Amino acid sequence: MDDLLTDFVAETREMLEAIGGEIVAWEANPGDRARLDAIFRFVHTVKGNCGFFDFPRLEKLSHAAEGALAEVRAERRHPDSRLVNAVLAIIDRISVMIDAIEAGTEIPQGGDEYLVAALEPDAGDTGETVAMQNAAAQASSAQSDATGSAATATPRTIRLPVELLDRVMSGVSDMVLARNDLARRLREAGAEPTLDGPFERMTSILTDVREAVTRMRMQRIELLYNALPRLVRDLSAELGKQVMVDLDGGDVELDREMIEMMRDPMTHIIRNAIDHGVETPSARLAAGKREIGLLSISARQSGNRITVTVSDDGAGLNHEKIGLKAVASGLVTDKELAAMSRNEIVDLIFEPGLSTAEEVSSVSGRGVGMDVVRANIERVGGSISVTSEKNEGTQFHLQIPLTLSIISALTVSAGGQRFAIPQSYVEEIVHGGAKAIEFSKIGETRLMTFRDRRTACVSLGYVLGLTENDVGKAQKLVLLRFGPTELFALAVDAIHDQEDLVVKPLAPAIMQTGFYSGTTLLDDGNPVLMLDIPILAQRSGLSIEARTRAASTKANDNDERSQNARKLMTFVGFDGRRKAIGMELVVRIDQVVPEAIDRSDDHAKVVVGDTIYTLLGLEPDCELEESVKLLRLSDSQSQLSYAVAELGESVEITDEIKPVPQDASLEGIVLHSGKPLRVLDGFGLFAQHASRPVAPDRPVCRIPLHDAWASRMLEPLVQAAGYRIADADDEHVDIVITVAGDSGDDPVEAAETPAIVLYGDPADAARATGGVYRYDRNGLVDALRRAQREKVA
Amino acid sequence: MSTLYVVIEIDGRLAAVDAADVQSVIELENVYPVPRAPAWVTGLTAMRSQSLTVIDCRLALGLAAADMAGERSPVVKVAGHLYALKVDAVDDVLEARSEVMPVPGGFGPGWQRIGQGMIETDRGPVLLVDVEALIAGPEAKAA
């Protein structure tokens, strides 16, 4: 049985036990609203959980009971004793089924429909009675089974007050500190072989206990993540959007209660992100983004806090609209608004009574605003903040406290003081003196280029006011990552050690500075401050900028990964055919008026912005509508425009593309959704039409015609050297390459034309003037260069 | 009436802290400054595997800094956090000989915020310090 299922069974059991009393009380007094609610929550939860597993009968039962109870809650139905009995029978049946699931046996057959029917207001007494007896019989038989196999009936869990766990945890962490202290004293006292053995043993036991204790209350945030892909899928389907979800940091552990507490706020933020943040596929394409929106959720532990970041790459928050709304609802005055920064305005979304949605949609407009989300998070001592950039997306940062934590950290020093950095942020450590690193100064911002990646570089000493803003070769650089994509370099004077540290909360006066997330004692007994990396980055003004930069490197990774599946952009050409072109070539989509297109000569051109592009894709006599959609293609050096009659979607093709030798403009044809899709040969397009600056007087070189070796091997080489290959009807050429001994039918050149003769034997080549061995690549290139220089001279 | 008070000296004046609030009195050595922290937070120090926040009482009262702070420092616990109070001197532990009484005319700026009242001791009248107000620092006055 997998973990999820075990959890499900355990949770359901726990709830069954808990509501055991409620059921009895409700039976005694069916009008008791609190009991009714508790039972309703139970069947509702069971129903919800069933969705993950394939328990149709369980789901049907709980659904039926939920429906009936909802009627009662809405006061459309009076809870008579028959209804109470029917609900109780269903709960009994659920209990039997849970036992069966846990034991891995077949769920007892039949009888469900009677139970469901008994819930109906006008259920006949017969059906009901039958069902009751049936259920009762099964329950009792299950019980007798259970007594037979004691293992299943023995509870494997006990309930403990959380305070007790807290006490044990803080006791163990104090023990770790005392152990560290003792270790230091032992070291100072010199070797004591009689003590070392027991001390080692204590250390290893303590490590075990610490781990066990930590796990007692902690659960991986995965528990929260598990439900998210489904939620995102359902929401995006409902709203007609395409959203991909990227979950990171699922192994971060936090308090089980915290996970439960975060469920609602997270759901709300995700709903908002999909509903209001991510645009429709067409709007995204028009904005030059991939049509599939990306929702990234990441969790990091930092000191005694967990940072959960929910970020989307949607339209971003519209601060103008938020501002207007805030004024309209009396939150701020016009004057106050004018004095507010963009970020301050964006923060207004957390104020009560502000919803920017134009219309209340079924998804996010349920009257629960971000103010409630904030209130819920603050209730447990957390905080929430938002950053948003127009058209780039929105990030919500949730910070949730941990009462206690032991985390792995890197100790560094700056300005003569030591600090700790949570290991989870550390991506890489580089020495400032390394050759691969270049520093540059843009205004007051320091940048660092390392492995072709440019990141902002922040001096820790400077941020903390200890030193000048100097970032240099003498320093060490810690590349830090926070959130799924953000990256920056922190310059420190020295890097010491990596240790497991027990992080304790700081006094409020120090907490208020915002730079630290906690304090801890090192093995040598000295206190050290744990840096709060996201705040540090935020204070240095890095967040958004760094995010986009790192994001671009991430996109490249994706391309590499999906090499097998090619992404194509489909469209309908002006010839009415379905075509596609490699997504990697499409940089954006333009819309132009027909007047911007010049078709006066053979080569159509189009003006987009201030630039003229070669325009492809038009048919000679096609009619142009009011606006023409153009795909902007780029091979990273030059750009082309390709006119399309109709934009399609982006598709992933894993099938092989079948070549079509008859049509040189096509890479081939591939089947997609049962229809042929013509895939344009992007390479060919650029080879033929690229508006790369071409030297007008490119020298012409004649190479042997009709020679397979020449066209395959020689031609690219000669072209790379800056020559154009002569056609059969080129009368003048600048240089001719012939192959010795191959008289052939090549046109004879004028005698003064320089010539290179290729020999099959290096010895012959050395003897002849202008002779080159056919595989002497350098020699050939040299000879071509020489000829070119002579021509210019 | 047998409440014990730890008598300390701040800026040349005697003050008292409820002995029940004082965990211990330590020798202040190795204080690690906290960059960007408020001025009255001198830094962090360690006591028996725990870290303490060191509060400079003169600065916390809004008085001028002085170098004459003594070595010994009482440790108090407020809201779960341990603080070491940097004072001129730790004088004595005394029994109060009176109830806490108001002072006619108040205590004067700075002191007013942290003063709970006056108690009579063998050393004469002593100001009873509200430790929570003291560690909140001078800025809390505005609130």
3-state DSSP assignment of residue B107? coil
Predicted confidence band of residue A128 (pLDDT cuts 50, 70, 90)? very low
Contacts of A344 (CB under 8 A, 6+ apart): none
CA dist B31 and B71 (Å) reads: 12
Q: What is the pLDDT of residue A404?
A: 45
CA dist B38 and B43 (Å) reads: 10
Residue of A nearest to B32 (CA): A527
A507 contact B CB<8A: yes
Q: Which of A179, A180, A412, A510 would best serve as a mutation to test chain B binding (most B beta carbons within 10 A)?
A: A510
Strand pairing report for A611-616 and A605-608:
antiparallel
Express each pLDDT in A500-517 by its tens digit: 676 777 888 887 777 887
CA dist A102 and A145 (Å) reads: 13
Smallest CA-to-CA distance from A367 within A379, A382, A352 is with A352
CA dist A77 and A159 (Å) reads: 37
3-state DSSP assignment of residue A80? coil
Model confidence at A146: pLDDT above 60: no
Burial (CB < 10 A; 0-12, 13-18, 19+), residue A340, is: middle
Per-residue HEC secondary structure of A561-604 comes to HCCCCEEEEEEECCCCCEEEEEHHHEEEEEEECHHHEECCCCCC
Is residue A509 within 8 A of residue A525, CB to CB? The reply is: no
A415/B35 CB distance under 8 A: yes
For A228-249, what is the mean pLDDT? 84
DSSP state at residue B32: B
In this prediction the ipTM stands at 0.81
Model confidence at A229: pLDDT above 50: yes
Residue of A nearest to B82 (CA): A507
CA dist A680 and A668 (Å) reads: 7
Choose among B35, B41, B80: nearest Cβ to A509. B41
Q: What is the pLDDT of residue A622?
A: 73
3-state DSSP assignment of residue A680? strand
Chain A partners within 8 Å of B84 (Cβ): none
Q: What is the pLDDT of residue A485?
A: 53
A519/B51 CB distance under 8 A: yes
Strand partners, A296: A246, A311
For B110-119, what is the mean pLDDT? 78
| Distance (Å) from the alpha carbon of B118 to chain A's nearest alpha carbon | 27
Q: What is the pLDDT of residue A457?
A: 83
| Distance (Å) from the alpha carbon of A309 to chain B's nearest alpha carbon | 26
| Distance (Å) from the alpha carbon of A301 to chain B's nearest alpha carbon | 21
Radius of gyration, CA atoms only, chain A:
36
Q: Which residue has the tokens 């039958």?
A: A130
| Distance (Å) from the alpha carbon of A515 to chain B's nearest alpha carbon | 8
How far is CA B7 from each of CA A149, A343, A683, B14, B118, rounded to the nearest angstrom? 70, 50, 87, 7, 12
For A125-147, what is the mean pLDDT? 47
Q: Which of B34, B59, B82, B132 would best serve as a mutation to test chain A binding (most A beta carbons within 10 A)?
A: B34
Express each pLDDT in A25-58 by its tens digit: 777 777 777 778 878 888 877 777 776 677 777 8
A655 contact B CB<8A: no
Full DSSP string of A110-170:
S-HHHHHHHHSTT--HHHHHHHHHHHHHHHHHHHHHHHHSHHHHS-------HHHHHHHHH
CA dist B3 and A341 (Å) reads: 55
Strand pairing report for B13-18 and B124-129:
parallel
Q: Which of A184, A512, A517, A539 would best serve as a mutation to test chain B binding (most B beta carbons within 10 A)?
A: A512
**Can you read off the two tokens belonging to residue A290?**
């991939």
Per-residue HEC secondary structure of A202-232 comes to HHHHHHHHHHHHHHHHEEECHHHHCCHHHHH
B49/A508 CB distance under 8 A: no
- Largest separation between any pair of C-alpha atoms in chain B: 44
Is residue A580 within 8 A of residue A666, CB to CB? The reply is: no
Q: What is the pLDDT of residue A231?
A: 84
Q: What is the pLDDT of residue A388?
A: 84
Q: What is the pLDDT of residue A790?
A: 66
Predicted confidence band of residue A123 (pLDDT cuts 50, 70, 90)? low
3-state DSSP assignment of residue A417? strand
CA dist A463 and A515 (Å) reads: 9
Q: Which of B81, B134, B139 would best serve as a mutation to test chain A binding (most A beta carbons within 10 A)?
A: B81
Express each pLDDT in A399-432 by its tens digit: 877 654 556 678 888 888 889 888 767 878 888 7
Choose among B33, B44, B79: nearest Cβ to A519. B44
CA dist A475 and A439 (Å) reads: 12
How far is CA A496 from each of CA A97, A594, B135, rounded to the nearest angstrom? 57, 66, 33
How far is CA A221 from each of CA A10, A297, A484, rounded to the nearest angstrom? 18, 11, 15
Is residue B2 within 8 A of residue B18, CB to CB? The reply is: no
Model confidence at A94: pLDDT above 50: yes
| Distance (Å) from the alpha carbon of B111 to chain A's nearest alpha carbon | 20
3-state DSSP assignment of residue A39? helix
A513/B36 CB distance under 8 A: yes
Predicted confidence band of residue A2 (pLDDT cuts 50, 70, 90)? low
Model confidence at A153: pLDDT above 60: no
Choose among B35, B45, B136: nearest Cβ to A465. B35
| Distance (Å) from the alpha carbon of A207 to chain B's nearest alpha carbon | 18
A509 contact B CB<8A: yes
Model confidence at A126: pLDDT above 70: no
Instruction: Give the structural domain span for B91.
Output: 4-142
CB atoms within 10 A of CB A366: 11
Q: Which residue has the tokens 């447990």?
A: A380
Most confident of A117-131, A480-494, B31-45, B108-122: B31-45
B81 contact A CB<8A: yes
Strand partners, B26: B73
Q: What is the pLDDT of residue A563?
A: 41
Predicted confidence band of residue B141 (pLDDT cuts 50, 70, 90)? very low
Strand pairing report for A453-459 and A486-492:
parallel
Helix axes A370-379, A256-272, angle to 10 degrees: 170
How far is CA A247 from each of CA A228, A316, A431, A485, B132, rounded to the nearest angstrom? 9, 20, 31, 12, 44
Q: Which residue has the tokens 């915020």?
A: B113
Is residue B85 within 8 A of residue B61, CB to CB? The reply is: no
Task: Give residue A481's region: left, alpha or beta (phi > 0; psi -120 to 50).
Answer: beta
Choose among B41, B51, B79: nearest Cβ to A527. B51
Output the CA torsion A777→A779→A783→A786 (10° steps). 110
Q: How many whole angstroms from its chain centre is CA A199? A: 45
Express each pLDDT in B48-93 by its tens digit: 767 888 888 888 877 777 666 667 888 888 877 888 888 887 877 8
Strand pairing report for A516-521 and A453-459:
unpaired
Q: Which of B36, B52, B86 would best serve as a mutation to test chain A binding (most A beta carbons within 10 A)?
A: B36
Smallest CA-to-CA distance from A568 within A291, A279, A293 is with A291
Express each pLDDT in A194-226 by its tens digit: 888 888 888 889 888 877 876 776 778 888 888
For A605-627, what is the mean pLDDT? 76
Model confidence at A546: pLDDT above 50: no
B38 contact A CB<8A: yes
Smallest CA-to-CA distance from B31 within B73, B77, B93, B88 is with B73
Q: What is the pLDDT of residue A170?
A: 74
Radius of gyration, CA atoms only, chain B:
14
| Half-sphere exposure (Cβ direction) of A344: Cα atoms closer than 13 Å | 8
For A336-355, what is the mean pLDDT? 76
B29 contact A CB<8A: no
Express each pLDDT in A268-326 by its tens digit: 888 888 888 888 888 888 888 888 888 899 888 776 678 889 988 888 888 888 888 88
Model confidence at A554: pLDDT above 70: no
CA dist A788 and B13 (Å) reads: 95
For B96-113, what is the mean pLDDT? 74
Q: What is the pLDDT of residue B2?
A: 66
Domain count, chain B: 1
The H or E element containing residue A276 is: none
A110 contact B CB<8A: no
Model confidence at A528: pLDDT above 80: yes
A509/B137 CB distance under 8 A: yes
Is residue B9 within 8 A of residue B69, CB to CB? The reply is: no
pLDDT above 90 as % of chain A = 0
A738-769 burial: b if 16+ Cβ within 10 Å, else e: bbeeeeeebeebeeeebbbbbbeeeeebeeee
| CATH code of residue B103 | 2.40.50.180
Beginning with the edge strand found earlier in the chain, give each strand of the sheet holding B115-121 in spatial order: B89-95, B4-10, B13-18, B124-129, B115-121
Chain B partners within 8 Å of A512 (Cβ): 38
Q: What is the pLDDT of residue A558?
A: 38
Q: What is the pLDDT of residue A550?
A: 36
DSSP state at residue A623: -
A525/B49 CB distance under 8 A: yes
Higher-confidence residue: A719 or A560?
A719
Alpha helices (H) along A219-290: 222-225, 228-239, 256-272, 281-286
Most confident of A314-323, A462-471, A482-491: A314-323
Choose among B46, B53, B79: nearest Cβ to A521. B46
Q: What is the pLDDT of residue A181?
A: 76
A181 contact B CB<8A: yes
Is residue B35 within 8 A of residue B58, CB to CB? The reply is: no
B104 contact A CB<8A: no
**Can you read off the two tokens belonging to residue A525?**
């007994």
Choose among B40, B44, B80: nearest Cβ to A527. B44
Q: Which residue has the tokens 């930069």?
A: A549
Instruction: Enumerate residues 50 to 79 of chain B having a beta carbon within 8 A of any beta carbon in chain A.
Output: 50-51, 53, 79
CA dist A150 and A642 (Å) reads: 74
A398-407 burial: b if 16+ Cβ within 10 Å, else e: bbbbbebbbb
